[in-house]
Structure 1
Amino acid sequence: MSLPQQLRDESDFDQLPDNIPVTATIADIEEKKGFIVYYRFVIEVKAKGNSKYLIYRRYRQFFVLHQSLELKYSAEAQPGYYTCQLPTLPVFDFSGSGRLELSLKAGDVIFLLRRVNADWLEGTVRDKTGIFPESFVNIIKPLPESDSDEEGGASMSGNRAQSSYSCLRCYLLQPEGIDTRDICVEEDLSIQPSYEDLLSQMRDIFQVEDIALNYRDPEGDLIRILDDEDVTLMVQESKQTGSKVKRPVNQFPWELLVTHAKDLSVYNTEY
């Protein structure tokens, strides 16, 4: 039997040497304390011959590998025959180890301020400013290469974000305090959403059903939004006051203030 015929009669797997890795599973996660607290994955590798061994990798090593594979094989980066859809990296919360570091959770939108070094960025989230590792976030709008005052944005999201995303800052006003959120939507900054869409979005974000939507007028008073005409007025007034407020370049010039529907104490009214 000729060698080509022999190779066709045998499966590809049977021809592999016994020391070739065939599976890899995360067996454990170890917490390590260096200059920062980080986590190392313990990966159990099983070879074709049933032998096993352990390797140790940090998340940022998977992140760098994923980026390299995307540059080489993704359809967006290299259109052509040899492309594939890479799986999305899992997202992990990041716990800051000191007062200079931000603590981030999946779904957070972070406004970028500057690059600290090759691995770390500085930004703001929920009115807090600090540094965090780039490998934990997806960049929505990158920082400009030049030293300008423009800002970018990043998201703790499992899906790759595009530059068409915009961020909306919203607040839930409650007697016990203010809950600040930044939400990311795939809309242009010039969009004027409907009242019902905004109401549904805020109910979902804050998990409160009986709410009212509001904005602040140029005098600083809280104005309740009741319909699409009020949304139009809010957007128009934001163009007048927006230039006075420094915002990231991908943030809407208007903000939503959410209150409980029956709470009228937040309004500047006299009886």
Structure 2
Amino acid sequence: MQRQLREESDYDQLPDDVPISAHIADAELIKRFNSHYVFAIQVKQKGGGKYFIFRRYRQFYNLHIKLQERFSPENPKNVYTCELPSLPGKVYVGNKQDIAEKRIPELNIYMKKLLELSVWVLLDEDLRIFFHQTVKDSEHVPRSLRRLRPTTQRVKSHKGKEIVREKSEAPQAEALYDFTGDNDLELTFKTGDIIYLLKRVNDDWLEGILNDCTGIFPKLFVRIIKDLSEEALDAKEGRTGAHVIRCIYHDAHCCEIRNVTLRDAVPVHPDHTELLSLMRTEFGKEDIALNYRDPEGDMVRIIDNMDVELMALEAKVHSKVRRPDFAPWELHVTRKADLSVYNTNP
């Protein structure tokens, strides 16, 4: 069986219940006679199944010792050998919570490299027992999942309308390890790839672009070459950090400027319907249209969320609004039937 699995179709012949990836979602304190921390680990199987297991560092250590005895090249009796990844060492002094938190990224790397080893390692009995969900695991509900991939959406591209920054000026990172995304929302890359950063999703995940593909990935797997701008850092929660929108109302007889203050921060890409409703309330008129000025100075009508996103993208490069409490773009409000504000010349 092991010899057969060494052929090119190794992966296809593996059982569906073999673990292929694992990621620590959180570290939980177990209060007993001897209080200790366990790691809540989400495991993904080859067949697509996902579940949680809960393991102490001691169990990681015991597994590593058994795998060393069985697969270490230093033991001449071992028929199948491989170079095992390094396990973070034992720590005897220090705060237990700090130790557990520090171990999370190290153990994530260890599990990733471990599950990328040869198929005979994946079929090892002790390894499969370690990643197997016991009855006790299935009854244990994680208290929080703060390190799992956050919910997000892919960045839409606008053919012919994209704002392209000079690559030398763009925030970027170098991949330290290979990373294979679990789905279309996650970016796949190899060691050494240069990823251009779009935003910080949370403390553990970034969003970037590589070879015209956009997706999110763990910060742990890259080295930051040039960090995101302050604007991008403020937008990690989908907000600009600003609370004021500058609005310019155009009428046949006057042009009025208003600064509309919001209770919450202005979204990076506001919803068009909500923005329209806000302006109708602010100006007391129903028959209005929303617009922005493009880099050439022409008025462009906003009719959907894609136009709002394009307005925000262009504002990153051409914004004239400098105050940090103001949104980086200006909103121009006109009467819906007034087409005289648009440049219709070819």
Q: Same fold (TM over 0.5)?
A: no
**Which TM-score applies when normalising by structure 2?**
0.29
Structure with bigger helix share is 2
Structure number with bigger Rg: 2
**Which TM-score applies when normalising by structure 1?**
0.37
